[in-house]
Amino acid sequence: MIRRYVATLRRRARDYEVSFPEELKVKAVVGRDPADAARRAESALRLEVVRRVRKKEPLPEPGELEAGALLLPVEVPAKAVRVNLTLDANVLAALDEAAERCGFSRSGFVAEAVGIFIAATRHVQPARVRAVLDLPEASAADGRSVGERKRKGRAKRKG
């Protein structure tokens, strides 16, 4: 679910500041230009929403949009869903070691890492991401999409 919260953008002497309503408990953020300030504000807002959801704290209702205000979208985390993954044994060992070192469960670490990756690549063309990571062109080693693999898996289980 996406919620949109109101924030105020203000030009300062050398930069731009975005501040939030008091009930959000998000500190003001500063950026070089309006776009940079808005990106930083979205990140700060996302962290606060995730924190509140994890602690089962209520989310405040979005405020009224006024002249000169920004409307910042934030994705509210949904219920966790169980999935099966197949990983190289060495990758799994490294994953478990990193999760333990950082104080996460395996699932929690994977969720955080994937969330960071998604945020970092949100505005990057998929071909560029694959090129930087030196991945093959197809979305899977066999060239089928995730949806195609799911459909085939369901068909095997039914038949």
- At residue 129, the pLDDT reads 76
Residue among 20, 15, 48 at smallest CA distance from 33: 15
Residue 154, pLDDT above cutoff 80: no
Rounded to an integer, what distance in angstroms lies between the CA atom of residue 142 and that of residue 86? 15
pLDDT digits (tens, 9 = 90+) for 42-57: 888 888 888 888 888 8
When pLDDT is averaged across residues 68-81 and rounded to a whole number, the result is 82
Confidence tier at 106 by pLDDT (50, 70, 90):
very high
**What are the tens digits of pLDDT across the range 75-101?**
887 888 899 989 999 999 999 999 999
Within a 13 Å sphere around the CA of 29, how many CA atoms are in the beta-carbon half? 21
Q: If you average pLDDT over every residue of the chain, what do you get? A: 83
Residue 50 CB neighbours (<10 A): 16
pTM of this structure: 0.55
Cα 112 from Cα 48, distance rounded (Å): 15
DSSP state of 159: -
Summarised one tens digit per residue, pLDDT across range 5-63 is: 899 999 999 999 999 888 888 889 999 999 999 989 988 888 888 888 888 888 888 88
**Strand-strand pairing, 29-31 and 16-19:** antiparallel
Comparing 132 with 74, the larger pLDDT belongs to 74
* First CA to last CA distance, the chain: 35
Per-residue pLDDT, 88: 93
The per-residue pLDDT for 66 is: 80
Residue 65, pLDDT > 90, answer no
Q: Give the DSSP per-residue string, 37-105.
A: HHHHHHHHHHHHHHHHHHTTPPPPPP----TTEEEEEEEPP-----------HHHHHHHHHHHHHHT--
For residues 155 and 121, give the distance between their C-alpha atoms in angstroms, rounded to a whole number: 33
> Which long-range contacts does 38-44 make (Cβ < 8 Å, 24+ apart)?
38/9, 38/70, 38/72, 41/7, 41/70, 41/72, 42/72, 42/73, 42/74, 43/119, 44/20
Helix count and strand count (H, E) for the chain:
5, 4
pLDDT for the residue numbered 150: 63
